[in-house]
Amino acid sequence: MSDHFGDVFNTRIWQEQAEPDNPFAAALCRCHGYDVYGQLIVKAGYLEYLYLLLKGDRPDAASAAVLNILAVALANPGPRDPSVHAAMAAGATGSPAASVLMAAISAGAGSAGGAREVMLALQTWTDCGTDLAAWKARIAAPAETRPLYWPQIEHVPGFDPHGVRCATPVLQLLDALRVALPNGNTAWLASNRVALEQAAGIPLAQNGVIAAAFADLGLTADEAEMLTLLWRLPGAAVHALEQKQRGYRQFPFFELALENDPGEVQA
């Protein structure tokens, strides 16, 4: 290969000093300047540390409160959610833990209820802000989505294609976040929800609320997608562990309706 590549990891996140007797073992690890094992493990809360990792600074109290609400809201989508269902299918049949979480990430990644929907919804916040006319224009003419290996989205990101009205937990989450974020996108969403739902023709979904709050926290679309994937894993993990204990005979196998059965063929 003619092109030159470096042989170090360049990072503004993580710094190490080696042990004096082992260049492959770190004696000191700093995250954005803070001593992880000397200070953070006893002084920092988990969500504070997560925010530090992501944004390079500590969250203020209001942001920490919002992070807590979002982490709890996302932690368990419940066993009907495709990501948890996929994890349980792996767990019930005895697949390794990594398979369980990879299954959850795979079935929870897409634009129909998955983390990509949060990413796309956050892009709408970036592009349209709190301009209702811009939102209506975007809803009427969705942006092209790339890369093209993703199936094209089939509904307005952040809204529920199968909803008949805004679901109670969505309203509860929106209300809790509106109180914690009284001046940003989330409050505007709460005030303009009905108008947006009328434009979309479908009700607001949880992913739409999550995206608004992530936008208020200053997260990029990529960061929001990543956090959504991460924060949904606890529910997938525990439901899979439960199904592993119960065994595959208690797990639905469902019924098919084969439409093109050639019937038994004589050899």
Interface residues with other proteins (CB under 8 A)?
1-3, 7-18, 23-26, 30, 32-35, 39-40, 43-44, 56, 58, 96, 98-99, 102, 106, 146-149, 162-164, 254-262, 264-265, 267
CB 261 to other proteins: min, Å? 6
The token pair that represents 144 in the structure block? 């092209």
- Those residues whose C-beta lies under 8 Å from the C-beta of residue 2, and which sit 6 or more positions away, are none
* Rounded Cα gap, residues 140 and 97, in angstroms: 43
CB 142 to other proteins: min, Å? 17
In the bound state with other proteins, the residue whose beta carbon lies nearer, of 30 and 138, is 30
* Rounded Cα gap, residues 176 and 235, in angstroms: 21
Q: Give strand pairing partners of 22.
A: 19
In the bound state with other proteins, the residue whose beta carbon lies nearer, of 42 and 133, is 42
- Kind plus residue range of the DSSP H or E element containing 252: none
CB 229 to other proteins: min, Å? 12
In the bound state with other proteins, the residue whose beta carbon lies nearer, of 29 and 71, is 29
In the bound state with other proteins, the residue whose beta carbon lies nearer, of 133 and 146, is 146
CB 168 to other proteins: min, Å? 15
In the bound state with other proteins, the residue whose beta carbon lies nearer, of 133 and 258, is 258
Which SS3 state, helix, strand or coil, does residue 26 take?
Answer: strand
* Rounded Cα gap, residues 2 and 121, in angstroms: 41
Based on C-alpha coordinates, what's the Rg of the chain?
A: 22
CB 164 to other proteins: min, Å? 6
Nearest CA-CA partner of 175 in 194, 164, 189: 189
* Rounded Cα gap, residues 245 and 262, in angstroms: 39
* Rounded Cα gap, residues 66 and 207, in angstroms: 15
CB 182 to other proteins: min, Å? 29
CB 53 to other proteins: min, Å? 12
CA 222 to chain centre: 10
In the bound state with other proteins, the residue whose beta carbon lies nearer, of 105 and 213, is 105
In the bound state with other proteins, the residue whose beta carbon lies nearer, of 5 and 183, is 5
Q: Give the CB-side neighbour count of residue 159, counting CA atoms within 13 A.
A: 22
